[in-house]
Amino acid sequence: MNEQTQQLHQLAREALKNRKRIVVKIGSSSIVHTATGALDLIRLEILVRELCDLKNAGKEVILVSSGAIAAGRVAAHMDHRPEKIEEKQACAAVGQAQLMMIYQKLFHEYGHMAAQILLTKDTVVEEPARSNTINTFEQLLDMNVIPVVNENDTISTYEIQFGDNDSLSATVASLVGADLLILMSDIDGLYTDDPHDNEWAALIPFVSRIDEQILGLGAGTRSDVGTGGMATKLHAAQIATEAGVDMVIANGRDFHNIHRILSGSLIGTLFLAKPGEEQR
């Protein structure tokens, strides 16, 4: 980075300390045990503690959480990764209830209340459903409730086929006028090449503008648990930054990265919101 870009990066990181309305997206691979696919309760507890501490600091928090299909697969004792759409939808029906029950219990232990919101693509695009969705989010936030969002996989195949809640989280951030979107992934951020294949690949800490060169870095490996890759995260970055929302991709293997990001630490890759866009 040249000196001007470095200064812009430093200022942008410092500005994250003042963000008030924050959307955090968690991928499946961040909340399950790699060996078994079962929910990692210790990591979920750390995640919830981090989010509750943000609430205690006066922030508004929305969690977009994957993991329903993975949780349902284990709960139903399925010995293979579901491939058919109907299998995935059935696993989601089982796993979403289990996942939400655990979230509500953990949030309650730290003195906060969680509410489930299941969305489909049409819900956030078409009126009057779009306005009703925004009103529901606003009311829950006014009531100091933490919305926990997922795609309604039991009736919608959009997320199952095309993403891992990355685009959904960016759309939610845009809908609610969030200040910051944090995507917790199984990688440290955006690299110059796939770090799994190239040991010389370097982390890109700051993206001030998403251009064709940046989008070209989206080809990469996919998680064995989730369905999203870097391409979906870059698409989410486009949605978020176009709406005036800063976005950070960070490693979800350490949920303490959430408060580090909000303290201005150089964690992950920061995508700067488009200048001139209206922010909260």
pLDDT at 141 over 90: yes
pLDDT per position as a tens digit, 96-110: 999 999 999 999 999
Q: Mean pLDDT of all residues in the chain?
A: 88
pLDDT at 225 over 70: no
pLDDT per position as a tens digit, 237-257: 999 999 999 999 999 999 999
| Rounded alpha-carbon distances, angstroms, from residue 82 to 18, 66, 222 | 42, 15, 16
β partners of residue 185:
251
What pLDDT does residue 156 have? Answer: 58
Helices (H) and strands (E) in the chain — how many of each? 10, 8
What pLDDT does residue 226 have? Answer: 42
3-271: CATH topology = Carbamate kinase (3.40.1160)
What pLDDT does residue 269 have? Answer: 97
Whole-prediction pTM value? Answer: 0.91
Q: Do residues 246 and 271 touch, judged by C-beta distance below 8 A?
A: yes
What pLDDT does residue 186 have? Answer: 85
Q: Where are the domains of the chain?
A: 3-271
To the nearest whole percent, how much of the chain has pLDDT over 70?
A: 90
Q: Do residues 65 and 47 touch, judged by C-beta distance below 8 A?
A: no
What pLDDT does residue 222 have? Answer: 47
Nearest CA-CA partner of 39 in 81, 69, 78: 69
Task: State the residue for tokens 């990265």.
Answer: 257
Q: List, edge to edge, every strand of the sheet that includes 113-119.
A: 113-119, 145-151, 60-65, 21-26, 180-185, 246-251, 269-271, 206-207
What pLDDT does residue 162 have? Answer: 42
Nearest CA-CA partner of 262 in 146, 179, 189: 179
> Measured between alpha carbons, how far is 58 from 21 in angstroms, rounded to an integer?
10
pLDDT per position as a tens digit, 64-99: 998 888 888 888 888 888 888 888 889 888 989 999
How far the first Cα of the chain sits from its last, in Å, is 29
Q: Do residues 120 and 158 touch, judged by C-beta distance below 8 A?
A: yes
pLDDT at 163 over 80: no
- What's the average model confidence in pLDDT over 137-145? 97
For residues 203-220, b (16+ Cβ closer than 10 Å) or e, as one string?
ebbbbbebeeebeebeeb
To the nearest whole percent, how much of the chain has pLDDT over 90?
A: 59
pLDDT per position as a tens digit, 7-20: 999 999 999 999 99
And the tokens for 228?
């999203």
Nearest CA-CA partner of 44 in 17, 66, 16, 59: 66
What pLDDT does residue 231 have? Answer: 87
- What's the average model confidence in pLDDT over 225-248? 85
What pLDDT does residue 278 have? Answer: 47
What pLDDT does residue 199 have? Answer: 85
